[in-house]
Amino acid sequence: MNQIGISRAIEVEARGYASFSLKCNERVRLIDLNGAQPIDFWAFNSANIFEHLSCEHTKPSIEKVYPGLGDAAYTNHRRAVVRLVEDNSPGQHDMQFAACDVYRYRQLGWDEDRDGYHHNCQDNLHKGLADLDLSLPYTPQPWNLFTNFFLYADGTFEIKAPETSPGDNMTLQAEMDCFVVVSACPQDMNATCGNQPGPVRVEILE
């Protein structure tokens, strides 16, 4: 890991979220503290949050199923919003799956009347936006960092536990002024989080 100063650090508890702003060219380091913990990541143009990171626009822009080192993620206006500038992880950063939500947990057998509230990334996004005095009437697909949804050549896929180890991390550079929301994914009903959601750390770098 490069020895770069940290201007702000945010500890995100298991199943929790954080929201913050980045200026163009600022960098943020995202750290999986315990291993096998995905991070749902959203970025929004600070001048117009209806322009935001879009997985479906990124993939044709880079001609890959998800960005690798040096690649940018693009907005729904087809402009770079963040760029992957350092990756100390296995490099599994899915762009196929929607954020988990109450409907996904119901689909997997959760019953709120029986089991109570289940934290989910969709709610975490909107709570994070509200903390910034922002709101959006829909949920964009997140960029699923440290997420091992394995694609096979025949078009099928498998939900596998992430291969990240404790302390694995990646650094993104803002390509425009943006608002960011991250969610420590709370999925505990399949292997997405290795069956045990954990905490993450966010470091905004100097």
CB 169 within 8 A of CB 28: no
CB 162 within 8 A of CB 92: yes
* Per-residue pLDDT tens over the stretch 113-140: 999 999 999 999 999 999 999 999 999 9
* Per-residue pLDDT tens over the stretch 84-104: 999 999 999 999 999 999 999
Answer yes or no: is 204 within a domain: no
Answer yes or no: is 6 within a domain: no
pLDDT band (50, 70, 90) for residue 3: low
What is the structure's pLDDT at 4? 74
Q: Which two tokens stand for residue 139?
A: 């949920």
CA distance 49 to 188: 30
Answer yes or no: is 8 within a domain: no
Range of the domain at 186: 19-190
* Mean pLDDT value of segment 73-83: 98
Answer yes or no: is 12 within a domain: no
Answer yes or no: is 9 within a domain: no
pTM score: 0.96
Q: How many domains does the chain have?
A: 1
Answer yes or no: is 177 within a domain: yes
Answer yes or no: is 37 within a domain: yes
* Per-residue pLDDT tens over the stretch 53-62: 999 999 999 9
* Per-residue pLDDT tens over the stretch 165-187: 999 999 999 999 999 999 999 99
Answer yes or no: is 5 within a domain: no
Average pLDDT, the chain: 97
